Structure 1
Amino acid sequence: MRINRILNNNVVVVKEDNEEIIVMGSGIAFRKSRNDIIAPDKIEKVFVMKDKGEYEKFTQIIDQLPEAHIIVTEEIITQAEKTLKTKLNEHIHVALTDHVSFAIERVKQGYQIQNKLLNEIRVLYAAEFEIGLWAIRHIEDKLLIHLPEDEAGHIALHIHTAKMNGTTMNQAMNTTSILNDLIVKIEQKLKVKVEQDSISYQRLLTHLNFALRRVAEGQLTQDVDEDMHHLVKEKHKTAYQVSVELAEYLDAAYNYTLPTSELVYLSLHIQRIERNKKGGVEE
């Protein structure tokens, strides 16, 4: 590989078959010039950005951000791809690098990082959240900067949306925000604080997440066993009423229409939380 362009001391661009390839490695461009050959043992990461716009954004980031931030973020991306056993969308090199660098600078300046969707992210994107936790430990090891768990949640969301054919960041944040709203409304209506490490909370959140996804994709049906519907409606009146009110809220605020079958299953999840409030045993 011959250097076509030096971006910084650790990142160069090479050309193969008229395709620009980004090559990274510690000190890979040290005392090097254009057309010099790269030592194979210096190469740590090689990737192609097929989107010209993303390539230009990444080169701008390399020019503007501290090298240490770029390197540590690329190590996080590598760890994520290795753990998830999937290739992440190339936009992650731009979006996550910019985000991580900004987070580090904010902490350095004494600002607090908060993530009101942390609990939902922890449950919905468990694998990505574990990578986020690894990331903040790695940043502390490499840069001696301590980032809070809230930041692990932000990183997890970036990784989740960068999965190939995954949702966009806006879609993921919108869904997670809706779920947060629904949990708050359930707590208000039942006058209870939902324990976020409980199985009931995790089941409810997971069910709601898949329900919203199915609604968005038009996959929910009205099929429901009428006897079961009647039984749940009569036996768990409070839970059923809360489900109805949540469905009305989703319809009014987001134009999401939940079918009757979904009200039945949602009622059963809410009933578990109501029972726990009264001192029942967690299932």
Structure 2
Amino acid sequence: MEISKVFNNNVAVVLENNEEKIVMGREICFKKKIGDTIEPETIDKDFYLHNQEVLSRFKELVVDIPLEYLEIGEEIMDEARLSLGKALNDNIYISMVNHIYTAVVRAKDDILVKNALLWDIQKFYKEEYLIVKKALVIIEKKTGVLLPNDEAGFIALHIVNGQLDEDVHDMYEITKIMQEIENIVRYRFKIEFNEESAYYYRFITHLKFFAQRLVEYKKTKQARRCFFESNT
């Protein structure tokens, strides 16, 4: 495979069947340059990033983040795709790896960030949260750091984000809206939900997409206001 871009000693973009893909492996680019070849057996991981903006962000990511975090991200992505049976967008890989790296650095410095919506994330996104609980084992094995459940909640939102194509900060707001609406329904009608029932699952699904549209509407409205203000 011919190298078309070199990010560092461990990561490059190669051409295969006239299509670019990213390959990773320890020292696979050592003393290599554009136009040289990489042998397939030296590659540990490979994947495609079709969006040029995402490719640019990935380039920035690999400059500062060690290879083991890129490997962690790929393992979690594989587990999420397998468990959910869904495709995940390219953006999730970059944002999730960056978050995990930052979280591990914080944990090593004994800096813990509380997740105010942890309980709701566990409830609304059960599948994604269970995936991340497995991911914590992968992270500990690679880094020696066991991240707390608060971080598991944040990482779960990245996986949810990968399915809905939203910014992770938007996912936090969407989850907060879902929490508030569920509380309104519970107290207004004086009912307790059976969280294991299909009816509750359908209710949460409707809430999720309603909250997503609400956040998108707010962002569009704000963007329009900024546009008109800048042109007056």
Q: Is 2:45–2:71's contact at 8 Å kept on the other side of the alignment?
A: no
Q: Tell me the TM-score normalized by structure 1.
A: 0.64
CA distance in 1, matches of 2:200, 2:16: 48
Residue 25 (structure 1) aligns with: 25
Alignment of 1:71-220 (within 5 A): 71-163=71-163, 166-168=164-166, 169-182=168-181, 200-201=194-195, 206=201, 208-213=203-208, 215=210
Query: What secondary structure is seen at the aligned counterpart in 1 of 2:12?
Result: strand
Cα pair 1:132 1:151 within 8 Å, conserved: no
CA, structure 1 residues 158+217, in 2 after alignment: closer, same or farther (shift >3 Å)? closer
Q: Deviations over 1:220-269 (max 9, x none)?
A: xxxxxxxxxxxxxxxxxxxxxxxxxxxxxx9xxx9xxxxxxxxxxxxxxx
Preserved contact between residue 120 and residue 180 of structure 1 (Cα < 8 Å): yes
The one-letter code matched in structure 1 to 2:100 is V
Match of 1:43 in 2: 43
Paired-residue identity, %: 32
In the alignment, the residues of structure 1 paired with residue 70 and residue 114 of structure 2 have an alpha-carbon distance, to the nearest angstrom, of: 23
Query: Displacement, 1:80?
Result: 1.9
- Displacement of 1:135 in angstroms is 1.1
Count of aligned residue pairs for this structure pair: 212
Residue 158 of structure 1: CA displacement?
0.5
Higher relative contact order (CA 8 A, sep 6+): 2
- How far apart are 1:190 and its partner, in Å? 10
Partners of 1:78 and 1:113 lie apart in 2 by 27
* TM-score with structure 2 setting the length: 0.76
Q: 1:89 to 1:5 in 2, by over 3 A?
A: same
Describe the SS at the equivalent of 2:7.
Answer: strand
Contact 1:124–1:205 (Cα < 8 Å) also in 2: no
Deviation at 1:13, TM superposition (A): 1.0
8 Å Cα contact 1:123/1:206 also seen in 2? no
Change (3 A) 1:182 1:12: same
Q: Secondary structure of the equivalent of 1:174?
A: helix
Structure of higher CA gyration radius: 1
Per the TM alignment, residue 216 of structure 1 is displaced from its structure 2 partner at its CA by 6.2
Q: Secondary structure at the match of 2:57?
A: helix
* SS of 1:32 mapped into structure 2: coil
Take 1:39 and 1:216, find their aligned partners in 2: how far apart are those partners? 48
**Match of 1:172, as an amino acid?**
M
Contact 1:175/1:212, CA 8 A, preserved across alignment:
no
Shift of 1:26: 3.3
Cα deviations by residue, 1:28-48 (Å, 9 ceiling, x for unpaired): 224434333222222232222
Q: Name which of structure 1's ranges 113-122 and 101-110 shifts more when overlaid on structure 2.
A: 113-122
User: What displacement does 1:97 show?
Assistant: 1.4
When residues 26 and 77 of structure 1 are mapped into structure 2, their CA distance, relative to the original with a 3 A threshold, is farther
**Matched residues in 2 for 1:18 and 1:7: separation?**
20
Map of 1:11 onto structure 2: 11
Question: Any conservation in 2 of the 1:121–1:176 contact (CA below 8 Å)?
Answer: yes
AA aligned opposite 2:127:
A
Residues in 1 aligned to 2:11 and 2:37: alpha-carbon distance in whole angstroms? 14
CA displacement at 1:25 relative to structure 2 = 2.4
Cα RMSD after superposing both structures:
3.2
1:53 aligns with 2:53: yes
SS in 2 for 1:129: helix
5+ residue gaps, structure 1, are: 219-249, 255-283
Q: One-letter code of the match for 2:180?
A: D
Give how far 1:79 is off: 2.3
Distance verdict in 2 for CA 1:115–1:98, change over 3 Å? same
Change in Cα spacing, 1:52 to 1:159, as seen in structure 2 (3 Å) is: same
